[in-house]
Amino acid sequence: MIPIEKMTPVELAGFVGEHLGRHGVNVVLSGGACVAYYSEGKYVSLDLDFVNVASERFKKIQTAMFEIGFEERNRYFSHTDTDYLIEFPPGPLAVGDEQITEVVEVKTDMGAFRIISPTDCVKDRLAAYYHWGDLPCLEQAVMVAVENKVDLDELKRWSEVENSIEKFQVFLEKKASEAT
């Protein structure tokens, strides 16, 4: 096994995801770490957000994390051998009011983890742009969409539900300019 201090974020996600899976804890990676993964490192996140999709008791997560040397500080878990923090937001796994049903399994040398799809990652970032005007999240959505195959029809449908079709057009324009 690679020491934790030498693990990449993807390897760390695999290590933690695999360990939690052995404890029966069902988690899916979301948030900025997904942007980092799908943007092929163009975006950097120093935390890994694993959504607790089955609403496992937090004590079960704590026990599993303590076993592999993590300490709990506020709502994060930290380890002395890495700068990456791990958080477990509660489920459901959703973007806005819509449940996320498609997850992708990623296998690493350190183990497997589950992650939201590139399309749902874009939705997650666009939600912050649509509702709070978060321009960095718009840029992150574009990064993911340029590097991955995303379902533009689904993004458009979802944007209409979010009453943000004009902002969706801004996203499409930025995506087109970045793709060239």
Tell me the per-residue pLDDT of 57-111, one tens digit each, with 9 for 90 and over: 889 999 999 999 999 988 899 999 999 999 999 888 999 779 998 899 999 999 9
Can you give the pLDDT at residue 56?
74
Whole-angstrom Cα distance, residue 11 to residue 123? Answer: 25
Average pLDDT, rounded, for the chain = 94
- Average confidence (pLDDT) over 154-172: 97
Confidence of residue 23 (pLDDT cuts 50, 70, 90): very high
Do residues 13 and 33 touch, judged by C-beta distance below 8 A?
A: yes
Q: What's the rounded mean pLDDT across residues 126-137?
A: 96
**Secondary structure E strands in the chain:** 27-30, 47-52, 71-73, 76-79, 82-87, 94-95, 98-99, 103-108, 111-116
pLDDT above 80 (res 179): no
> Which pair of structure tokens corresponds to residue 9?
């974020």
41 pLDDT band, cuts 50/70/90, is confident
Spatial distance between the Cα atoms of 175 and 141, rounded to a whole number of angstroms? 9
Mean pLDDT of 127-152: 96
Percent of the chain with pLDDT over 70: 100
| Of 76-85, 90-99, 124-133, 161-170, minimum mean pLDDT range | 90-99
Computed from CA positions of residues 68, 45, 154, 163, in that sequence, does the dihedral angle turn out positive or negative?
A: positive
pLDDT surpasses 80 at 142: yes
Q: What band does 54 get if pLDDT is binned at 50, 70 and 90? A: confident
- In the chain, % helix, strand, coil (3-state, to 5) comes to 50, 20, 30
pLDDT of residue 166: 97
> Would you state the structure tokens that stand for residue 124, as one six-digit string?
């997650």
Helix, strand or coil for residue 116?
strand
| Averaged pLDDT for residues 110-115 | 96
SS3 track for 42-61? CCCCCEEEEEECCCCCHHHH
